[in-house]
Amino acid sequence: MKKILVLCTGNSCRSQIAEGYLRHFANNKAEIYSAGIETHGVNPKAIETMKEDDIDISSHTSNNINEYMDIDFDYVITVCDNAKESCPYFPTKAQKFHYNFPDPAKATGTDEEIKAQFRTVREMIKQYAQTFIKTNI
């Protein structure tokens, strides 16, 4: 079974959303993990936004990359430029992928405008995850 790691800065939004969709589209055909260079906790708006699409990430935890150093990943996906540039040396033969998604946690405006930005990023990640699984798993 293929092992996929999604890596972001804080493991609070983008990587959590990606983990949720990769799990959904892989349908138990891959092991999916997510981590951050730092841990900021799972963003409540990310949980709420995913729930709108019937994906429950409320039990996800925010994990540090160092927790996964002993896992031999097949794929590592960085979902922000900071993670790609700041990732510590990661001993793996994994094939690396990168897509710099906007950070919805930095959204500003009214509550509705912030929710709209979360939804936009969610849809971008959903499309990416679906294509990734179709192509690689």
pLDDT of residue 69: 86
Whether residue 40 has pLDDT greater than 90: no
pLDDT of residue 83: 63
pLDDT of residue 42: 94
How high is the mean pLDDT of the chain?
A: 91
pTM of the model: 0.93
SS3 41: coil
60 — pLDDT class (breaks 50, 70, 90): very high
Measured in degrees and rounded to the nearest 5, phi and psi for residue 11 equal 50, 45
Please identify which of the residues 35, 80, 83, 125 carries the catalytic annotation.
Answer: 80
Q: Could you report the per-residue pLDDT of 16-33, keeping only the tens digit for each?
A: 999 999 999 999 999 999
Annotation says 13 is catalytic: no
Strand extents, DSSP E, the chain? 2-8, 30-36, 75-78, 95-98
Contact yes or no for 75/99 (Cβ under 8 A): no
Structural domains of the chain, count: 1
pLDDT (average), residues 79-86: 72
- Closest by alpha carbon to 18, among 106, 100, 113, 115? 100
Between 10 and 5, the more confident residue is 5
Whether residue 110 has pLDDT greater than 60: yes
CATH of the domain at 66: 3.40.50.2300
Please identify which of the residues 53, 74, 82, 87 carries the catalytic annotation.
Answer: 87
* Tokens 């708006």, residue located: 45
Environment class of 29 (CB within 10 Å of its CB; exposed 0-12, middle 13-18, buried 19+): exposed
Count the Cβ atoms, other than its own, within 10 Å of residue 70.
Answer: 6
* Tokens 């981590």, residue located: 35
Domain that holds residue 94: 2-136
Please identify which of the residues 4, 8, 26, 133 carries the catalytic annotation.
Answer: 8
